[in-house]
A and B are shown apart, each in its own frame.
Chain A
Amino acid sequence: MDLVVTYGLNFAYSTATLGLIVLGLAVVFGLLGVMNMAHGEFVMLGAYSALTVQQAGLPFLLAIPLALIVCGALGWLMEWSVIRHLYRRPFDTFLATWGIAILMRKGVEVTFGREYQSVDQSLPGTVSLLGIDYPAYRLVLMAVIVVMFAALFVWYQRSNTGARIKAMVQNPDLAAAVGINTARLSRATFVTGVAIAGLAGVLLAPLVRVEPYMGLDYLLSSFFILVVGGLGTIEGLITGSSIIGGADVIISAIFDKTAGYLGVLAISILFLWLRPDGIFSRR
């Protein structure tokens, strides 16, 4: 019984964190159509924001505004200098963001060093839940993520922004003709997406090794989730996260970490073959 609860909580935890990580890319790639290869690097910057705040001896929560400002400003700069010229050239965007990702990794490596670092748990200790002790920070994090997703879901249903963004991507001239300021909307969308990635980095920082190359794993798992779950829906995003997260947890538990990774890769390729538009595809 305890084992079931532990695995259940681990599964929920991994789904929730993956959902948090993929959210930023879902906005940028799913809505805007920009395959941002620097997505993981924004998560990495978020984690380094947490590290900086800790090294300065400030309270952990201050890392959130810091990450939002750093990632938002950098995202704004990136959109202004590179992305906005390339909205209709996906392959060039892909290459350019890859270059920016390399630049961000190298920049952080020069500033903070190559070695692994760690951010202290601001909520150490465990909470007793359903007969087992589970880390408190993980529980709080799950709750925060659930609330975030719920808020996002309500906003997405109620507001028109999602539809406007899709409209703009698909037919920019018509979008302008019905009164949508396309330049501003796409910049706001891009900045929001990378800021969410930064936020994810802050929240995950106490749980992971912080190092300049940490973003790559996040990029790949985000991408696999979007392959499995499809683009543009919150249901798809959550389902994708649970399939990828679940497969990873289960296979890793039975065999080892490498097998889990192999399993995730195999599932993604399988989806590419069988359901190239994701699990909820309308075809």
Chain B
Amino acid sequence: MAFSRAAKFTLAGLLIAFPWISDSFTAYQLGLYLLYGMVAQGIALCWGRAGFLPLGQALFFGIGAYLAGAALKADLGWAMLVPAFAVACLVPALLAGFIGALVFNRQTGSGPYFSLITLALSMLGFQLANSLSGITGGFNGMTGIPGLPGIDTYETLYFVIVGVLIVSTLALAHVMRAPFGQLLIAIRENEERLQFFGFRTSMLKAAAFAISGGIAGLAGALYAPHQGIVTPQAVGFVLSAELLIWTAVGGRFGLIGPVAGAVLIGFMAAGLRDSFRYWEVAVALVFILVVLKMPGGISGLFSAALSRFGGGRHDHDKRIAPAMLEGKEHRVAPDLRFDTVGVSMGPVRILNGLSFSISRSGIHCIIGPNGAGKTSALNVLTGRLPLGGGEISWRGISLGNTRPFIAARNGIGRKFQVPSIFPELSVRQNIEIALWANRIGTVEMFSMRPYGLTTQMLGELETRFPFLQQSHKAAGSLSVGQRQMLDFSMTVLAEPDLVLLDEPCAGLSTDETRQMIEAIAAIAGQTKATFIIIEHDMQVVERLSDHVLVMHQGALLANGTMTEIRANADVARVYSGGSK
């Protein structure tokens, strides 16, 4: 985080002292901007952290405001008001979680679908708020909302807002620092890879969206007594767009930036809107500039300046006593069966009656000419391609049309041909995510304990690949060979029972290839896991494999030991796999 602890305490102190520094009317104004800033923090969690963009965040803000407004108008007293505020927070959270789960389950990545659906929902909310005049007061709004009982709206409500803001900021900061926050960055960086570690990313994103919705609802609930009126504008699209601008301009990667953006632009708008006609045009221009040229916004500039003067950017301490995880000692024998598996894309049959079974652990290599369907076989096994026909089973479980995270949870680990890592995370953080795979549950995602995890295999890998000890180095700055090795290390650190490696030596130098082969052989020997490796280089195959499968035109052509394969006339005819 860009701001030091002292700076944060100073900020909080300034906020609390603000009514005395300035006057109570300005503090009242500031209260509104701080509420908007809270919503913006939620947007930052989704957009800056997890990389998906909600365009209709005012919907949740407005729902919270209407709910709290109705509760206040019913004059329930504090005993009922507290649960009512909880409802005003929970309803938007659940709605956001539901929408997120609905959309993210079908759409991986950060395409326009989610954003446009949230935008449409916000516009729908606006229409509903206008037409359901019996509940919302329609176009004129829900008026005459009393203040919180015993709290003066123009004097003391400000302190309530500051208190809630500080608490929610601390809570969000914890969420971001916890493994959950790190997993959100991993989603932003490489969502598919995370799925192959057994994480159901759609649910993580939906949870992040739910948190942002809940915070927006809470801010809205305080908005109702603050303003005394809630109009359809509070759920509408215009406010949604402005919230987004404040987040972007303030800085979407942290928690202070969004609030700063809302407060700064809020005060400037109040001062300039009448005297400078083109004010809002100027704001829109700044937004475009920020998006294109300085994604970190104002706080990004600040932290860049700070780090230039030697301050800033301490990695937060995660001093936790290392807890040694047990490696898997006893493994059941693998039992993988492909029974006349077919996969078609359009009229082409990529896999055409592929049948084989693997019942011994050890290293199995798949070879075959280009286009034989080797990678497709791994894809269909891990749910990346739909099964067109036949049957795949793994330890008695049918894996036809599975999904990557389910395959991973059943102990199948996968490394792609192109090294697939989380480039913006550090080497250590990449490794942490692999260690968490299939090992931490929902509760632990929000505790700091998982940062201390380590395994014996990690020590071994660090000896083989010393660069893994440069834990603070960004994984994206590694060389191609090192990325291959990091990716391999991550795959085996999750300790899957079935390890699928697609050309692990692609792009490696002779020296690196040797290192990789040695590592594979050693890990396979120690873990007793089953390895299936696709490889073109016959030297690698010869050195590693106990058992070779030859594929040709989507089916199995031959299998056996390397010597048997060499002697096979069919293989010699269709495939003369040379050496690098």
Contacts and interface: CB of A to CB of B under 8 A. Distances in A.
Q: Do chains A and B touch in the complex (CB under 8 A)?
A: yes
20 contacts: A35-B112, A90-B111, A91-B51, A92-B291, A92-B292, A96-B291, A96-B292, A99-B284, A100-B288, A102-B245, A105-B284, A106-B280, A106-B281, A110-B277, A219-B116, A223-B116, A258-B127, A265-B117, A268-B120, A273-B106
A201 B106 CA distance: 34
Given A35-B112, A99-B291, A109 B280 contact: yes
B285 interface: yes
Contacts of B120: 220, 224, 265, 268
Nearest to A90: B111
Interface string A93-125: 011101110110111011000000000000000
Interface of B: 51, 53, 55, 102-103, 106-107, 110-113, 115-117, 119-121, 123-124, 127-128, 131, 237-238, 241, 244-245, 277-278, 280-281, 283-285, 287-288, 291-292, 346
A55 to B, nearest CB: 20
Main secondary structure of the interface of B (DSSP, over half): helix
Contacts of B107: 272, 276
Given A99-B284, A258-B128, A276-B107, A213 B102 contact: no
A99 B247 CA distance: 13
A202 interface: no
Interface in A207-259: 213, 216-217, 219-220, 223-224, 227, 256-258
A102 B284 contact: yes
Contacts of B281: 103, 106-107, 110
B386 to A, nearest CB: 8
B288 A103 contact: yes
A103 B292 contact: no
Interface in A68-93: 82, 90-92
Nearest to B244: A98
A109 B238 CA distance: 13
Interface of A: 35, 82, 90-92, 94-96, 98-100, 102-103, 105-107, 109-110, 213, 216-217, 219-220, 223-224, 227, 256-258, 261-262, 265, 268-269, 272-273, 276, 282
The 7 closest A-B pairs by CB, nearest first: A99-B288, A103-B284, A102-B284, A35-B112, A106-B280, A258-B127, A95-B291
B134 to A, nearest CB: 14
A108 B223 CA distance: 30
A262 B124 contact: yes
A35 B114 CA distance: 13
A269 B288 contact: no
A265 B113 CA distance: 12
A216 B278 CA distance: 22
Contacts of B115: 94
Contacts of A268: 117, 120
B103 A258 contact: no
Q: Which of A107, A224, A227, A269 has the most CB of B within 10 A?
A: A269
Nearest to A35: B112
A216 B292 CA distance: 23
A269 B117 contact: yes
Contacts of B51: 91
A54 to B, nearest CB: 24
Contact of A220 (B111, B113, B119): B119
A159 to B, nearest CB: 25
A91 B124 contact: no
A94 B102 contact: no
B287 A102 contact: yes
Contacts of A261: 123-124, 127
Contacts of B117: 265, 268-269, 272
B112 A94 contact: yes
Nearest to A100: B288
A227 B112 CA distance: 11
A82 B288 CA distance: 10
Contacts of B285: 103
Contacts of B110: 91
Contact of A110 (B237, B278, B287): B278
Contact of A258 (B113, B131, B241, B277): B131
Nearest to A37: B112
A265 B291 contact: no
B237 A216 contact: yes
A216 B123 contact: yes
Contacts of A95: 53, 291
